[in-house]
Amino acid sequence: MATVQMIAPPTLRRTPATAAPGRRRRLGLGRPIPYGRVLGPVVLLAAWSAASAAGLLDPRVLPAPWTVVGTVRRLIEAGTLQDSLLVSLRRAALGFAIGAVVGVALALVAGLSRLGEAVVDGWMQVQRAVPTLGLIPLMILWLGIGEAFKVVIIALVVAITLYIQTHAGLTSIDNRYVELAETIGLNRLRFIRAVVLPGALPGLFIGLRLAVTSSWISLVVLEQINATSGIGYLMFQAQNYAQTDVIVVGLIIYGLFGFLSDAALRLAERRVLSWRRTLSG
Amino acid sequence: MATDTERLTEAAVRVSGLVRRFGERPGRTVLDHLDLSIAPGEFVALLGRSGSGKSTLLRALAGLDYDVAGSGSIEVPGRVSVVFQDSRLLPWRRVLDNVLLGLDGREVVAGGRAALAEVGLAGRERAWPVELSGGEQQRAALARSLVREPELLLADEPFGALDALTRIRMHGLLRELCRRHGPAVLLVTHDVDEAIVLADRVLVLDAGRIAVDQPIHLPQPRSHRDPRFLEYRFQLLTALGVEEETAA
Ligand SMILES: Nc1ncnc2c1ncn2[C@@H]1O[C@H](COP(=O)(O)OP(=O)(O)OP(=O)(O)O)[C@@H](O)[C@H]1O
Ligand SMILES: [Mg+2]
């Protein structure tokens, strides 16, 4: 007589079948928190207000938020804030625009032809090794201490950052797509338009976001060392008169600049690269 | 035989004395004076062990083997199309734009839509490639080939990444499309059944040459249970060095 062996049925793990539409991938980052990005600043602001109200903060070290708001109003009434803002924005925008055009153009030249690569890539790599802010003294000697040298420095920083990312994007196209283009008989121009450039766009966007950040950093440095106008100059003067509140206003404006420009780029990236499905998407 | 002489006089593919070698001198000879000809409209399947040089041969025919040492002559028609193991749809182009890649004109748009409809993807023209299943992506790739009206279709394990069921569907589709458009086909596969189901002729590549050249005389559609099917299967498996006790 054969003995019948009982095999225990495997234990089943229950997954909620009805929850499918709203379910998130397990290794994803989870549901995006609404207005998640402003959460951090709001918490910080609350802590700052509480500490000031409780008298924990010496106003000479860090003035209360309402003092800062008052300062903003005073500066706007005097016209100083608008003027400084415009000057700073103009520098940043001009430098960024020039740098972006030059950086992308050089990346295209170097990424799309061997001759261009030989001519451009070598010295861009050298340039990259030299911290651009280290060029400030030289640029002052060459261009004087006016607007031109500030714009040039920002443009250089932006151009190099963008060049590196875009060039990397252009030269790292998947070989499988090159083969496809060959078997389909694309000519060079079409290949560049249909395969190389779209393939380099993600790299370009990384470059843009890095470049925006570094252009703000350069702006801060430039305006605090050698300027007679702009947000940085305002802060520099405030330091002389120990006006902490004005310094805080300057910092907040710099922060807003950075935050808004990055947000704009993220939005553009989402639009342009809508074909991508990434973890954060 | 009349068909054989025809095949010799008018060929879509003619390869003679093809040698391909990899590595440092003297190198390893992967294709060793290989001869092959394919008639217009003929469907040929190429079998062979892994590493036997199937892809090497196909890439040579597709003109994709740069910097590879070798000799011999290759004649292929002007319009050659390749289907790869992966679909190679450009992720940043919508499906229809992928199908039409590199083509111009208003008429081709209609052609592209028709090709997509033929492979069962009507209505998906505006989808992004990531939104398609693996089988759908491969069908889109097939549409991209068809819209170019190739005289020679080269396919390197085009269904290798698909599940069994999708694969069987794709067999029917491919067979039907080839009947309608009439290109010569060279299909590389490691699946003996797939080769017998689809091909007019099955080749086995071994030691750098065509070791077996087996015409399949079975009416379409072909059944796996047909005793002649099993006979071909046994024969080809033996040629591939597989000992199979179950094959009756
Ligand atoms: N670019 C290359 N450089 C060096 N060796 C290569 C190269 N391409 C192929 N080979 C060698 O040539 C031989 C044949 O390769 P091939 O890809 O043609 O095989 P295959 O028959 O397609 O195999 P599989 O069924 O696994 O795809 C292999 O041994 C491989 O290592
Ligand atoms: Mg292969």
pLDDT at B5: 39
Cis peptide before B26 (omega within 30 of 0): yes
Average pLDDT over residues A105-114: 91
Instruction: Give yes or no for residue B22 CB within 6 A of ligand 1.
Output: yes
pLDDT value for B245: 56
Sheet containing B80-83: order of strands: B80-83, B152-156, B184-188, B43-48, B201-206, B209-215
Which residues in chain A (158-197) have CB-CB distances under 8 A to chain B? 176-177, 179-186, 190, 194-195
Query: What are the tens digits of pLDDT across the range A186-213?
Result: 998 999 999 999 999 999 999 999 999 8
Tell me the Ramachandran region of residue B23: left when phi exceeds 0, alpha when psi lies from -120 to 50, beta otherwise. left
In A113-196, where does DSSP find H-type helix? 114-116, 122-129, 136-143, 147-171, 175-184, 188-191
**A58 reaches B (C-beta below 8 A):** no
**Interface pTM, i.e. ipTM:** 0.85
The CA distance from B149 to B168, in Å, is 24
Q: Report CA(B54)–ligand 2 centroid distance (Å).
A: 6
Band of pLDDT at residue A166, cut at 50, 70 and 90: very high
Question: Is there an atom of ligand 1 within 6 Å of B55 CB?
Answer: yes
Give mean pLDDT, residues B44-57.
92
What pLDDT is recorded for position B203?
A: 95
Ligand 1: residue whose CA is nearest its atom 9: B56
Read off the pLDDT band of A161 (50, 70, 90): very high
Q: Which residues of A touch B108 (CB under 8 A)?
A: none
How is chain A split into domains, by residue range?
Answer: 64-269
Identify the CA nearest to B149 among candidates B195, B181, B118. Answer: B181
Taking the Cβ of residue A276 and every Cβ of chain B, the question of whether any pair is shorter than 8 Å is answered with yes
Average pLDDT over residues A39-64: 89
Contacts of A275 in chain B (CB under 8 A): 91-93, 128-130
Of the given ranges (A150-159, B6-15, B140-149), which has the lowest mean pLDDT? B6-15
* C-alpha pair distances (Å), B106 with each of A75, A186, B100, B125: 61, 18, 11, 16
Contact criterion met (CB < 8 Å) for A275 and B84: no
The Cα-based distances of A148 to A95, A105, A124, A226 in angstroms read 9, 21, 22, 12
Sequence ranges of the domains in chain B: 4-247
Quote the pLDDT of residue B227: 86
One-letter identity of residue A269? E
Model confidence band, residue A1 (pLDDT cutoffs 50, 70, 90): very low
DSSP3 helix / strand / coil % (chain A, rounded to 5): 75, 0, 25
Is the beta carbon of B81 within 6 A of some atom in ligand 1? no
DSSP for B163-181 reads: -HHHHHHHHHHHHHHHHHH
Mean pLDDT of B75-79: 89
Whether B93 has its CB under 8 Å from any CB of chain A: the answer is yes
Q: Tens of pLDDT along A11-39?
A: 666 655 555 555 666 777 777 777 777 78
State the fold for domain A64-269. MetI-like fold (1.10.3720)
List, for residues A219-247, the tens digit of each pLDDT value.
988 988 777 889 989 998 898 898 999 99
Under the banding of pLDDT at 50, 70 and 90, the label for residue B81 is very high
User: B159 with B170: CB under 8 angstroms?
Assistant: yes
In chain B, % of residues over pLDDT 90: 50
Mean pLDDT of B151-166: 88
Going from the Cα of A276 to the center of ligand 1, the distance in angstroms, rounded, reads 33
Nearest alpha carbon, ligand 1 atom 26: B50
Average pLDDT of chain B to the nearest whole number: 87
Average pLDDT across chain A, whole number? 86
pTM metric for this prediction: 0.79
Q: Tokens 């790739």 map to which residue?
A: B141
Q: At what angle do helices A244-272 and A80-112 cross, to 10 degrees?
A: 40
Confidence category of residue B8, pLDDT binned at 50, 70, 90: very low
Give me the pLDDT at residue A40, please. 85
3-state secondary structure A234-277: HHHHHHHCCCHHHHHHHHHHHHHHHHHHHHHHHHHHHHHCCCCC
Given a cut of 50, whether residue B20 has pLDDT beyond it is yes
* Distance (Å) from CA B50 to ligand 2 centroid: 7
For residue A183, the CA-to-ligand 2 centroid distance in Å is 17
Q: Kindly state the tokens that stand for A173.
A: 């196209």
When the candidates are 3.90.1150.110, 3.40.50.10860, 3.40.50.300, 2.30.30.20, the CATH number that belongs to B4-247 is 3.40.50.300
